[in-house]
Amino acid sequence: MKTNPLLVLLAIIFMVGCSSKPNIPVSDGQTLVMEASVLAAGISAEKPDISTDNGATVSRSQLYNEQSKPVIISYRFYWYDAKGLEIHPLEQPRTITIPAKSSVSVSSIASYPDARQVRLYLSL
């Protein structure tokens, strides 16, 4: 018995179209991502927290510089909805100078009201 390739293709398309979207959770261990070069530069950071400020969803994190010279860091917040799906448009990467032996706070306001999770990515 010969199988019709068109029927097989249609069956595959139907199954893919009916499948549910996977959940991509952001676990507590994944809320802060730091490149190795950031750690090597003597920078540490707190995991970003999420709060509400005047009705807006806000995330903040404290960055620390243990070095005796200022360090310029690039950072970007990635926001996710309750299902763990990334919210677009993405924020543009930003930079900040952390003074020697000091700390700074970085923050982001979610552009989507249903944002529930956040990830902070740090690089040099």
pLDDT digits (tens, 9 = 90+) for 52-63: 988 899 999 999
In this predicted model, what pLDDT tens digit does every residue of 101-124 receive, in sequence order? 999 999 999 988 889 999 999 999
Q: Is the pTM of this model over 0.85?
A: no
Contact 80, 110 (CB under 8 A): no
**C-alpha span between 3 and 56 (Å, rounded):** 56
Contact 121, 76 (CB under 8 A): yes
**Which residue type occupies 49?**
D
